[in-house]
Amino acid sequence: MDKFTRNYVDGFMAELIAKNPGETEFHQAVREVVESVAPYVTANPYLMDLKILERMVEPERVIMFRVPWMDDRGEIHINKGYRVQMNSSIGPYKGGIRFHSSVNLSIMKFLAFEQTFKNSLTTLPMGGAKGGSDFSPRGKSDAEVMRFCQSFMTELQRHIGPDTDVPAGDIGVGGREVGFLFGQYKRLRDEFTGTLTGKGQNWGGSLMRPEATGYGACYFAQEMLATRGKSFEGQTVVISGAGNVAQYAAEKATALGAKVVTLSDSDGFIYDPDGISVEKLGYVKKLKNVIRGRIKEYVKEYPSAQYFEHQRPWGISCDIAMPCATQNEIDADDARKLVDNGCYCVAEGANMPTTPEAIAIFQNAKLLYSPGKASNAGGVATSGLEMSQNSMRLKWTAEEVDEKLHGIMSDIHSACVKYGTEEDGYVNYVKGANIAGFIKVANSMVEQGLV
Ligand code: NDP
């Protein structure tokens, strides 16, 4: 990076941090993008004159609201609700809703910012947004979750719609929660439209949407592996998380011939040296999605596996790592362990799971490393396909959706290679994804004037 561009980045980040104090996750997500796209911006000075980057980091709208609800004992609780509508230059706002105790404005803004570039990469017409609450569904009854979702949607429904903003699931928001949210939306607005995605199969949901993020991450990893003449066949895979993304990443990696040896939740991880077979994964799905239990129960069912309390799985030797739980779950120490143990490919299923220091370690070691905004884009891409099916009032088969998903992941990979290949031939997927995602949004903003 030349001196002028370095100064531009430093000045930009200093101003961003001063204007958004304490929002560390948001700063981290913006820095990663700005470092990648700054050479392009300074080489095209009209983008500086038009303050395109400055506009991109300021959400078009932030909605914050009170979510009051009552638990089964009659006690009243108050949670915070958010919707960050970041950028609508290429389509209606689109992005998930997260219910987790850690949710705050910084996390919402980082996710909405990332979403803008991810949605651009999918080639579908979707702007960027994110929403959520510091409510945790963990340990709550179905009735409590329903009352919370109804209260949350009672406010959110004013701000969303099929051509305005189309939310989906994320951490803590799966099929059950989307159902309760959609039911309340429909009741209050008296319309049956595709305003949420990830809907049930009987009421407008797309086939393959539950599988899409995990499968898509594996399709992207397949493309990366192919650049080195490799595949999933016979590889050992370490996965974190045990939710939607982790389950389907494990399923697809196994189907492609890999041995998946770990899964985790926020309490610890399980290591099954024999591999988490299709049958064992069936147990995990029941445990997490129906019984809503903890991953440690896996070792009671399969005693040859081990459980490691309060630890993450990155010390387990593997060929491929797929972080599928949450942000900043791989730090520099974890990255060193992975590299030292022979891991040569990291495909992110989660959003921003790798810290900047850890990314540098992967890239310096020339690992195949893909940021979530590229490799987990299959989820929102299939949400985009759900929107298309809802607008056309028809339903594609699972094979049709899977084929489209496969094509989209392959196109995203090609875009990363196009914009991210460095002089020595190494593909910097972070740079590639950021520049490819940025150009389309930036050009759209330029063409639409100062809004
Ligand atoms: P789920 O709620 O289904 O699963 C999340 C998993 O991650 C759970 O096992 C959970 O454990 C674990 N987890 C959550 N927070 C933490 C934490 N702070 N520390 C350690 N473990 C944690 O969510 P998803 O699978 O849908 O999402 C996982 C990741 O993928 C997120 O980063 C999300 O933003 C991203 N993503 C999801 C998409 C989707 O389509 N669902 C699309 C694109 C990205 P526990 O049960 O203990 O909380």
Could you tell which of 209, 265, 375 is best to mutate to test the pocket of ligand 1, judged by most ligand atoms within 8 Å of the CB? 265
- Report residues whose beta carbon is within 6 angstroms of any ligand 1 atom: 100, 102, 169-172, 174, 213, 241-246, 265-267, 324-326, 349-351, 376, 379
In angstroms, what CA-CA distances link 441 with 213, 424, 446?
23, 29, 9
d(CA 242, CA 263): 6
Predicted confidence at residue 128, as pLDDT, reads: 98
* 138 CA to centre of ligand 1 in angstroms: 13
Predicted confidence at residue 437, as pLDDT, reads: 98
pLDDT digits (tens, 9 = 90+) for 388-403: 999 999 999 999 999 9
pLDDT digits (tens, 9 = 90+) for 140-178: 999 999 999 999 999 999 999 999 999 999 999 999 999
Q: State mean pLDDT over 43-70.
A: 98
Predicted confidence at residue 184, as pLDDT, reads: 98
* 245 CA to centre of ligand 1 in angstroms: 7
* 448 CA to centre of ligand 1 in angstroms: 36
What one-letter code names the amino acid at 153? Answer: M
CA-245 nearest atom, ligand 1: 25
Structural contact between residues 334 and 314, judged by C-beta atoms closer than 8 angstroms: yes
* 242 CA to centre of ligand 1 in angstroms: 8
Q: State in Å, rounded, how far the first CA of the chain is from the last one.
A: 31
Pairing of strands 76-87, 61-70: antiparallel
DSSP helix/strand/coil, 399: helix
In this structure, the residue with its CA closest to atom 48 of ligand 1 is 266
CA-168 nearest atom, ligand 1: 40
Q: What residues have CB less than 8 Å from 80, skipping those under 6 apart?
A: 64, 65, 66, 67, 103, 104, 133, 134
In this structure, the residue with its CA closest to atom 23 of ligand 1 is 171
CA-242 nearest atom, ligand 1: 9
* 190 CA to centre of ligand 1 in angstroms: 32
DSSP 424: T
Which candidate in 130, 140, 404, 431 is catalytic? 130
Predicted confidence at residue 44, as pLDDT, reads: 97
Structural contact between residues 292 and 284, judged by C-beta atoms closer than 8 angstroms: no
Predicted confidence at residue 230, as pLDDT, reads: 98
Predicted confidence at residue 348, as pLDDT, reads: 98
Q: How confident is the model at residue 23 (pLDDT cuts 50, 70, 90)?
A: very high
Mean of per-residue pLDDT scores for the chain: 98
What one-letter code names the amino acid at 275? Answer: G
Q: State mean pLDDT over 297-326.
A: 98
Q: What residues have CB less than 8 Å from 156, skipping those under 6 apart?
A: 63, 65, 81, 83, 131, 167, 181, 185
Predicted confidence at residue 286, as pLDDT, reads: 98
pLDDT digits (tens, 9 = 90+) for 314-366: 999 999 999 999 999 999 999 999 999 999 999 999 999 999 999 999 999 99
Q: How confident is the model at residue 284 (pLDDT cuts 50, 70, 90)?
A: very high
* 29 CA to centre of ligand 1 in angstroms: 18
pLDDT digits (tens, 9 = 90+) for 97-122: 999 999 999 999 999 999 999 999 99
Structural contact between residues 110 and 86, judged by C-beta atoms closer than 8 angstroms: no
Cα radius of gyration rounded to whole Å, the chain = 21
Q: How confident is the model at residue 302 (pLDDT cuts 50, 70, 90)?
A: very high
Please give the helix or strand (H or E) that residue 223 lies within, else none: helix 209-226
CA-209 nearest atom, ligand 1: 40
What one-letter code names the amino acid at 31? Answer: R
* 378 CA to centre of ligand 1 in angstroms: 15
- Half-sphere exposure at residue 157, Cβ-oriented, CA atoms within 13 angstroms: 20
Structural contact between residues 315 and 288, judged by C-beta atoms closer than 8 angstroms: no
Q: State mean pLDDT over 301-311.
A: 98
252 noted as active-site residue = no
In this structure, the residue with its CA closest to atom 37 of ligand 1 is 170
Structure tokens at 430: 């972070």
CA-118 nearest atom, ligand 1: 43
Predicted confidence at residue 278, as pLDDT, reads: 97
* Phi, psi of 63, rounded to the nearest 5 degrees: -110, 125
For tokens 């490919």, what's the residue? 345
d(CA 246, CA 171): 11
Structural contact between residues 124 and 158, judged by C-beta atoms closer than 8 angstroms: no
In this structure, the residue with its CA closest to atom 3 of ligand 1 is 243
In this structure, the residue with its CA closest to atom 17 of ligand 1 is 266
Q: How confident is the model at residue 54 (pLDDT cuts 50, 70, 90)?
A: very high
**Chain-centroid distance, C-alpha 420:** 21
Closest CA relative to residue 249, chosen from 274, 292, 206, 285? 285
* 86 CA to centre of ligand 1 in angstroms: 22
DSSP helix/strand/coil, 441: helix
Structure tokens at 127: 């702007």
In this structure, the residue with its CA closest to atom 28 of ligand 1 is 325
Q: Judging by beta carbons within 10 Å of its beta carbon (0-12, 13-18, 19+), is residue 110 exposed, middle or buried?
A: buried
Could you tell which of 84, 108, 173, 245 is best to mutate to test the pocket of ligand 1, judged by most ligand atoms within 8 Å of the CB? 245
Sheet holding 128-133, edge to edge: 61-70, 76-87, 128-133, 93-99, 165-168
Could you tell which of 266, 331, 385, 405 is best to mutate to test the pocket of ligand 1, judged by most ligand atoms within 8 Å of the CB? 266
